[in-house]
Every structure is written in C-alpha cells, then in structure tokens.
Amino acid sequence: MSNYHIKNLEEYFHVYKKSIQEPEVFWEEIAEEHFTWREKWTNVLSWDFSKPEIKWFENAKLNITENCIDRHLPTRGDKTAIIFEPNSPDEDALHISYNELHERVCKFANVLKLNGVAKGDRVIIYLPMIPELAVSVLACARIGAVHSVVFAGFSSTALSTRINDCEAKMVITSDGSYRGKKTIDLKGIVDEALDESPGVETVLVAKRINSEITMKSGRDIWLEPLLENASSECEIEIMDAEDPLFILYTSGSTGKPKGMLHTTAGYMVFTAYTFKNVFQYQDDDVYWCTADIGWITGHSYIVYGPLCNGATTLMFEGVPSYPDYGRFWQIVEEHKVNQFYTAPTAIRALAKENVDFVNSYDLSSLKVLGSVGEPINEEAWCWYNEHVGKKKSPIVDTWWQTETGGILISPIPHVTPTKPTFATLPLPGIEPALMDENGEEINGNQVDGKLCVKKPWPSIARTIWGDHQRYKETYFSAYENKYFTGDGALRDETGYYRITGRVDDVIIVSGHNMGTAPIEDAINEHPMVAESAIVGFPHDVKGNALYGFVTLKEVDESSETDNLRKQINQLITEQIGPIAKLDKIQFVNGLPKTRSGKIMRRILRKIATNDTGNLGDISTLLNPEVVQDIMDNSLQ
C-alpha cells in the first residue's frame, strides 16, 4: 500500500523517512496505485545534477488529461469539476461537470488539431480567468501540444518576447477581459504583440466582453463556431513520461524571462500527491485557489493537481475588491468553499478593510486556509487565522516556486502543528539543505543559510526552454550537486523552516517574481536615462515595493521630474506590465559602484529601507561621494 494520504504526525515522520531513504520505492508505489498509465516505466529515477539531467518514470506512457478527466467519468461524471465564478456577482456561476469538461476539452482539442497544431507544437494562451483558459490548457495536453500560458496582465512586448522565445505557432485569446469595474482590450494587446511575432499563424479568439475588435483575415478566427462544429470525442495522444507538458516563463536576474519546462509524468504525480495532502481534500469538498492560471500556482493547484484527484475546483474571474471587499467571503459562502488558497498580499489588502466585510458572511464551510507566493508576516497570519479561519482552520504556508512545479515545504493541515511565518516541514521526497558563505552545508538546528534541495523530486523543471546552459548556471552551479532555490531560510530548534526571502536580484512584489534586470532594461530605454538600479523596500500590502534610482544623461535643473517619473512607469508598463511599476523613483547624480564598475545594490537597498546606520565600508567604492548625496535626497 502506498502512503498517498497522510493522516497524522507519526505517519508523516514515517512516510518522510521512507521517501528519503527509498525515494524510488516511495514514488513508484504512489504512481502505480493512483494514476492511469498506458505503459509502465522501465526505471523510476535517473539523475545527474552536474549536467543537469533528471528523468522520472522513464519510458512510461500516459496522458495527463486521461488522469485529470477520463478516468473519473465512470464514478464522477456528474460531479462538478470546475465552478466558474464570474467577475460580476450579477452573472451566474457556471458548474462544469467532469462529463462536460470531457466534452469541452475534446472539442477544443479537435479545434486545435484542425487548425494545424500537432504534438510538440507550442501554443501561447493569453486569456482571462474564464473556463476557456482551463479547457485550452487541457486541450493542449490532450494532443501533446506544449502550452505556455502568459498572464493576461502582461504587456504586448512581454507577450511577444515569450511567443518568440518558444516559437509558438498559435495564440489563444479573447476579445477582452473584465477586471473589477474595468474592461481590458486583450485582443488589441495581442495584435500589437504579433507585429513583433510574425511566426504566429493562427489566433483563436474567445468571446467574453462582446467588444468591437478587428479580426485579421487569414489569421484570426472566432472560437465559438469552431467549437460548435467540432467532434466531442478526441482520443488522447500517448505521451512519454518526459515529454514536455508546458513552458511557463518566470523572470530572473537577466533581462530575458526563463521559460521553465515541465514534463508530464513526474509533474502529474507530484502535483496530485501534494494537492491531496496539503489541502486534505475529501471527495465532496469545494476547493478554491484565487491565483490566476497564468502563474504556476494556477497550473498546479487550480488545474492539474485538483482535477487529477477528481476534485471540484473553483476559478474566479474577478478581483477581491469588486464590487466590494467582501467579494472573496461572499464566494466562500455561496459555494461553501472548504479549502481556500490565496496570497499574503491579498490577505494584507483585505485586512486593511473593515472586518465587517468578513463577518457578514458565513465562512463555516472552511476547513483549510493556504498561503503562497511570499513570506506571510505574522500580522497577516494572525488576521487570517482569527477572522477567516476563526482559529479552527489550520493555515498552510506553502513554499515553492515556478521551477519546483509543486509545493516543497508546507504544513499538512491537522497533522503538522503550525507556527506563524514558518512553512514548517518538507513534504515527503524533499530534502532541504542550508548552505553557508563557504558553500558548505550547515547542519543542526537554529541556523540560517541559503536554501538548496539535495535530490530531485518528480516535478522539478527539467530545463529552461532553449537554454540548458542557463538552467545549469542558475540552479546547479552555486553549490555542487544541489538545486539552489535563490531563497534564504532559517531552521528553528524543532527543524521547522522559515523562508526569509530572495537572496538574488529578484524581488517579490504582491507575490509576483520581479527580476530587477528586465525593469532596469525598460527604464534605460528612456532617451533621457543614463542608468538605473532597482531595489525593494517593505510595503504594507505588497510585501515589497520597487524603488528605482535613476541617473539622467543631461541634468537640467528645470527637468520636469514628475513628468519623467510618469514616462518611466509608462515605459515599464509597456515593456512588462503594470505589476512592475515603481513606487518611488529618485533621480541621482551617480550610482555607487565598485572599482570593477558593478552597482552596489546593497547600499541602495539600505537607503531605500531607511537603514543607513551601518552602510559598511564605502571607502572602497569607485565613487563614495555619491552615497551621501543619495541619502540626503532619499524619498524615504
């Protein structure tokens, strides 16, 4: 018998030990008993972090949509697979059963095929949180096409960079999207992007807001009539365990986003297993993750993990503040949500509002509360626990990354005692390590260091699309034979982990990974800008906000700096998207640099966080004189 579902702490320790001592036996049992395979593997795991090369369930054959949909039909055909809750509460929610999901996915898959998409082709999906998003993801997987969902808040430039990087031949989008009171012209953004992406042959357009849009003949096609005419049966494509499932872009410390590639079998097994345990999902539960499917959280814990377990998963199109700050709680009451998974930034934003917004709704259905995306501060943790969970629903602070595919460190609710701000213990199969400045592993408890993982788990990303060397350098070169996460962490006296934040040039803003380099590249495109450096500073809702230090080519006393600030943020919005806008922009005469010309961000970070008591030795700088000047004019 496999240990698929952990029910108490003793069992956790037992299962964890087994998973570390005999990982292959552990994962093989789970894979064998809980999934449908067309052919079994010949080897459970082979790996070499020095190349790096990782293979799970080698030579097994399967299709993830057979596991997410078809195998549930005999027993759960009429069960709701997806609840779609629209942006406006005036529009009715939609309940899509497993039978209906099967039909929708098959039809969509046939439409893809009829429009020239074949196994291995890349398809970019740029859609709002409407059912077509989940359905198109699954339709790609059904025919072996590699989906790459781009969050529909990204700009046309960011979109075309991603299309070109993975050489997608098709884009799936909608006429527009609803976001609270606003509508967004998604198709217009796609049109602009495609001016820079001539490789795209077809654009499928879903109708959502009924806006007037232009359709380019020979390229753009309305989705609805195609779906109406498509057959509702579509055989699965038989995939190899290591065939690509999707590419998801994440920003890194250079300008170019990293297309993290996830493959089929390991990703499926790990996301399903972690979903079951971290949320303790029971058969009639309603589960809701508020993330967008454009992020990894949505891929793994709105679509694949829940559906693999035959769960009911809710997808919400709107925002927490529309029509008012009670919207989340109204949805919890309306659909009797049992597991609720959101981000600290949302919790902090809601905690600022009148608590009556929470108390006006019946939240008694809730059993588990989740948090993801950044460290959850104690105040937010306590508010969530008290007002939403009524101190009876454990909070699972889940730590993981786009690269990890699934949750690596998290409490198991009602099993692991929780502790505010701690992600607590590694899940089975995960062996964390903390590393010191000399690259040595730090043993024992009550220590802190840089967080690594010692061995591969099934859903680790296999490469960066088109750039294996960068994959190796980013994750496997800092420490020999270990996966480096880019995060710092501490281990307390009981062995619990607390993630302290990024240790590289990535800043987490409202739970979104922001590489500083792409933002600086965008700013530097302004004709008046000479140079720029971005650092983070604490923000009470976003967790971190962005502070830009900018030098201008010609300093003119009459420069309209407010106007320049607007233009800089406009450039960032165009190149990346509004989520990357700067909260503060300080124009400076020079940036502090080392003698080799590297910008000393450490000093800028201290200035931005108003922590200038101990700047360290600045005398070795190339230009120590600029530091005082920057401090004197700081916007803090």
Footprint on this chain of ligand PRX (rule: CB under 6 A)? 250, 296-297, 371-375, 397-402, 423, 485-487, 499, 502, 508, 513
DSSP H or E segment with residue 470: helix 468-476
Q: Which is nearer to ligand PRX, 251 or 312 (CB)?
A: 251
CB 148 → ligand PRX: shortest distance, Å? Answer: 15
The conformational region for residue 388 under phi > 0 = left, psi -120 to 50 = alpha, else beta, is: alpha
In DSSP terms, which residues pair with 250 in a beta bridge?
258
CB 218 → ligand PRX: shortest distance, Å? Answer: 37
CB 369 → ligand PRX: shortest distance, Å? Answer: 13
Which residues does 443 contact at the CB level (< 8 Å), separation at least 6? none
CB 344 → ligand PRX: shortest distance, Å? Answer: 8
Q: Which is nearer to ligand PRX, 375 or 394 (CB)?
A: 375
Q: How many angstroms separate the CA atoms of 488 and 478, rounded?
A: 13
Q: Which is nearer to ligand PRX, 34 or 450 (CB)?
A: 450
CB 510 → ligand PRX: shortest distance, Å? Answer: 11
Give yes or no for a contact between 153 and 577, defined as CB atoms under 8 angstroms apart.
yes
Q: Which is nearer to ligand PRX, 280 or 398 (CB)?
A: 398
The conformational region for residue 128 under phi > 0 = left, psi -120 to 50 = alpha, else beta, is: beta
Q: Which is nearer to ligand PRX, 511 or 592 (CB)?
A: 511
CB 201 → ligand PRX: shortest distance, Å? Answer: 30
Structural tokens at position 95? 């309940």
CB 613 → ligand PRX: shortest distance, Å? Answer: 26
List of E strands, 6-128? 43-48, 53-58, 61-62, 80-85, 94-97, 122-126
Q: Which is nearer to ligand PRX, 160 or 250 (CB)?
A: 250
Give yes or no for a contact between 184 and 127, defined as CB atoms under 8 angstroms apart.
no
Q: Which is nearer to ligand PRX, 237 or 397 (CB)?
A: 397
Structural tokens at position 3? 């240990």
CB 427 → ligand PRX: shortest distance, Å? Answer: 13
CB 242 → ligand PRX: shortest distance, Å? Answer: 22
Q: How many angstroms separate the CA atoms of 43 and 618, rounded?
A: 55
Virtual CA dihedral for 61, 65, 68, 70, nearest 10 degrees?
-90
State the chain's maximal CA–CA distance in angstroms. Answer: 75
Q: How many angstroms separate the CA atoms of 97 and 83, rounded?
A: 9
Residue 380 has φ and ψ, to the nearest 5°, of -65, -40
Report the residue closest to ligand PRX, judged by CB: 402
CB 397 → ligand PRX: shortest distance, Å? Answer: 5
In DSSP terms, which residues pair with 249 in a beta bridge?
259
Q: How many angstroms separate the CA atoms of 331 and 83, rounded?
A: 11
Q: How many angstroms separate the CA atoms of 168 and 191, rounded?
A: 15
Q: Which is nearer to ligand PRX, 174 or 342 (CB)?
A: 342
* DSSP conformational letter for 236: P
Q: Which is nearer to ligand PRX, 203 or 579 (CB)?
A: 579
Q: Which is nearer to ligand PRX, 204 or 579 (CB)?
A: 579
Distances from the Cα of 191 to the Cα of 78, 195, 199, 220, angstroms:
39, 7, 13, 10
